[in-house]
């Protein structure tokens, strides 16, 4: 039954790209797409997904992805008794010579369906595709630069925040353009839209064979019914292409080529552009970001670079100051810990283990704990340990906003470290970390920690130490 369908190259959408609805056709085949093998971990997710059916129609106005152009989306509608059933088409692919419509609902073979295209999406894709042909033609004519490849973006306008760059497509060239060349491009290309609009025509042909320069995909059987389409932009350009296109360059509205470029493959460059309504959308999003930035900086447009540079310098100075005071605070905390150890040694604890802890809230990050560790290992710890005594230091910091606890254990005994880790796991959720199997340092963190769990942890260690050094004067295990 597949042979009864219209081949890609002669589809209704390619012969009339402005046919958006009221297209009657018939279902030729409908098969459920096999689910791909997945791991056990993902099995439940896959089970909950809707089945996908691949539908082939006798002809279609929905374009299948190809030639650098994303597929159309739209609807298939058919009558069932007295009701109209609407089936969304979320993707159209090409399988050899034929278009395949991807849906989540089975439709019986032989069913008459009415097809509708997502008009706004189709026009947008046509504007980008025709714009690329025009841009590439001017680059080749003026600078003898051939387009190596190109990519069309598909921004999701349904999101509340769209990055302006999501509206940009790019073409890859063999060299970087100068700013002057891009200025010329912007002027010249828009001349073909406003003052010298070019008629766009499509030529269909059947080839007996392909040469090495052909752009026809390997899986498109040109010798068994395949059709080659050539897109002509006036006398300016002629290129093989399967995509849907505008009928006149004036329908582009406008084209914007931006000056930011990206270097790829050492010498090649990506040149970014937008066409049609995307130019307005890009400008609108960029203007919104500009206005937000102006409000934050309390500046005019032209003052933004200067104000930003000032903030950069201020931030750098504050960071240096913060690093200094962090170091001072870490030294003081280290001295408190060492003082505790000395008091324990003087009292001659029977356990032979000097143990102390430090728990802080707010800004006590892993970086801060690492600074304390550095201070403790810089000769200081050696002053209060000997062959007869071991040590365990438990450090912790808790950020209430992120609900993350930063944790560190320092000990000369791997067993002592593991005992503390076990206690972490008993009280806190999602503890992750490593190190210190043979003594030294274990560091990690716990996520989704609530205030109650954190308080329980700190009180547990303080109580343990109080029991250990009940009669020590001026013992200073503390939470700050």
User: Which domain CATH number covers 97?
Assistant: 2.40.30.130
Does one domain contain both 51 and 200?
Answer: no
Output the pLDDT for position 362: 72
Classify residue 70 by its DSSP letter. P
**Residue 323 placed within a domain:** no
Rounded to an integer, what distance in angstroms lies between the CA atom of residue 33 and that of residue 30?
A: 9
Q: How far is CA 375 from the centre of its chain?
A: 40
Output the pLDDT for position 479: 38
**Residue 324 placed within a domain:** no
- Residue 222 makes CB contacts below 8 A (sequence gap 6+) with 207, 209, 210, 216, 228
Length of the chain measured in residues = 480
- Residue 353 makes CB contacts below 8 A (sequence gap 6+) with 389, 390, 391, 392, 416
**pLDDT tens figures, 380-389:** 566 655 666 6
- Residue 47 makes CB contacts below 8 A (sequence gap 6+) with none
Output the pLDDT for position 131: 97
For residue 450, count other CB atoms closer than 10 A to its CB.
Answer: 12
Closest CA to 392 of 424, 422, 356: 356
Rounded to an integer, what distance in angstroms lies between the CA atom of residue 410 and that of residue 420?
A: 10
Closest CA to 405 of 387, 431, 382, 441: 431
Closest CA to 406 of 437, 374, 366: 366
Query: Domain tally for the chain?
Result: 3
Does one domain contain both 141 and 61?
Answer: no
Does one domain contain both 337 and 448?
Answer: yes
Does one domain contain both 349 and 398?
Answer: yes
**Residue 227 placed within a domain:** yes
**Residue 315 placed within a domain:** no
Does one domain contain both 145 and 100?
Answer: no
Q: How many CA atoms lie within 13 A of 226 on its CB side?
A: 19
Rounded to an integer, what distance in angstroms lies between the CA atom of residue 122 and that of residue 20?
A: 8
Identify each DSSP E strand in 37-137 by its residue range.
Answer: 53-57, 74-80, 83-89, 91-95, 98-103, 112-117
- Boundary-marking domain end, from 276, 297, 318: 297
Which CATH number fits the domain that encloses residue 199? 3.30.980.10
Q: How far is CA 125 from the centre of its chain?
A: 22
Does one domain contain both 277 and 375?
Answer: no
**Residue 306 placed within a domain:** no
Output the pLDDT for position 360: 86
Does one domain contain both 105 and 155?
Answer: no
Rounded to an integer, what distance in angstroms lies between the CA atom of residue 279 and that of residue 56?
A: 36
Output the pLDDT for position 474: 45
**Residue 325 placed within a domain:** no
Rounded to an integer, what distance in angstroms lies between the CA atom of residue 227 and that of residue 207?
A: 8
Phi, psi of 454 (to 5 degrees): -65, -45
Which CATH number fits the domain that encloses residue 413? 3.10.310.40
- Boundary-marking domain end, from 75, 97, 117: 117
Closest CA to 20 of 155, 151, 118: 118
Does one domain contain both 263 and 138?
Answer: yes
- Boundary-marking domain end, from 117, 142, 161: 117
**Residue 393 placed within a domain:** yes
Output the pLDDT for position 345: 67
- Domain around 67: 2-117
Output the pLDDT for position 171: 97
Closest CA to 196 of 282, 138, 143, 241: 138
Does one domain contain both 346 and 452?
Answer: yes
Output the pLDDT for position 365: 85
- Residue 248 makes CB contacts below 8 A (sequence gap 6+) with 197, 198, 199, 200
Does one domain contain both 37 and 150?
Answer: no
Give the gyration radius of the chain's Cα atoms: 34
* Regions in the chain scoring below 70 on pLDDT: 1-3, 37-48, 157-160, 207-215, 218-219, 221-225, 345-353, 378-389, 465-480
Does one domain contain both 163 and 50?
Answer: no
**Residue 415 placed within a domain:** yes
Closest CA to 152 of 85, 82, 241: 241
Does one domain contain both 126 and 270?
Answer: yes
Give the ranges where 144-259 is alpha helix by DSSP (H).
179-194
In the structure encoding, which two tokens stand for residue 153, read together? Answer: 């973006």
């Amino acid at each position: 039954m597949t042979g009864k369908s219209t081949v890609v190259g002669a589809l209704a959408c390619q012969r009339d790209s402005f046919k958006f609805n009221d297209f009657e056709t018939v279902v030729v085949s409908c098969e459920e797409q096999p689910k791909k093998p997945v791991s056990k971990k993902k099995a439940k997710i896959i089970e909950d997904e809707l089945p996908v059916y691949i539908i082939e129609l006798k002809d279609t106005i929905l374009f299948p992805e190809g030639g650098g152009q994303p597929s159309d989306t739209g609807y298939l509608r058919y009558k069932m008794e007295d009701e109209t059933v609407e089936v969304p088409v979320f993707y159209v692919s090409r399988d050899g010579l034929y278009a395949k419509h991807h849906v989540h609902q089975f439709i019986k073979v032989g069913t008459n369906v009415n097809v509708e295209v997502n008009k706004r999406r189709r026009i947008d894709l046509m504007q980008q595709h025709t714009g690329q042909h025009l841009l590439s033609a001017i680059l080749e004519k003026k600078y003898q630069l051939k387009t190596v490849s190109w990519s069309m973006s598909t921004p999701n306008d349904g999101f509340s925040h769209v990055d302006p760059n999501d509206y940009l497509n790019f073409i890859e060239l063999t060299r970087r353009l100068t700013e002057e060349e891009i200025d010329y491009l912007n002027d010249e290309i828009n001349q073909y839209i406003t003052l010298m609009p070019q008629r766009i025509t499509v030529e269909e042909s059947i080839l007996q064979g392909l040469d090495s320069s052909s752009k026809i995909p390997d899986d498109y059987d040109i010798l068994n019914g395949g059709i080659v389409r050539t897109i002509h932009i006036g006398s300016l350009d002629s290129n093989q292409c399967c995509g849907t296109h505008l009928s006149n360059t004036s329908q582009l509205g406008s084209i914007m080529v931006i000056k930011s470029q990206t270097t790829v493959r050492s010498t090649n460059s990506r040149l970014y552009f937008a066409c049609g309504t995307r130019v307005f959308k890009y400008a609108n999003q960029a203007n919104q970001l500009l206005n937000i930035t102006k409000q934050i900086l309390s500046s005019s447009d032209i003052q933004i670079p200067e104000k930003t540079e000032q903030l950069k310098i201020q931030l750098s100075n504050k960071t240096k100051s913060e690093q200094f005071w962090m170091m001072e605070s870490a030294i003081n905390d280290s001295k408190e810990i060492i003082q505790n150890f000395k008091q324990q040694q003087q009292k001659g604890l029977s356990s032979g283990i000097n143990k102390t802890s430090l728990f802080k809230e707010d800004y006590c990050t892993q970086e801060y704990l690492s600074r304390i560790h550095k201070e403790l290992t810089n000769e200081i710890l050696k002053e209060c340990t000997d062959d007869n005594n071991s040590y365990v230091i438990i450090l912790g910091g808790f950020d209430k906003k992120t609900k993350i606890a930063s944790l560190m254990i320092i000990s000369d005994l791997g067993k002592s470290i593991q005992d503390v880790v076990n206690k972490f796991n008993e009280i806190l959720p999602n503890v992750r970390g490593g190190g210190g199997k043979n003594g030294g340092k274990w560091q990690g963190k716990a996520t989704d920690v609530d205030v109650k769990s954190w308080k329980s942890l700190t009180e547990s260690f303080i109580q343990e130490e109080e029991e250990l050094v009940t009669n020590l004067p001026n013992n200073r295990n503390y939470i700050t």
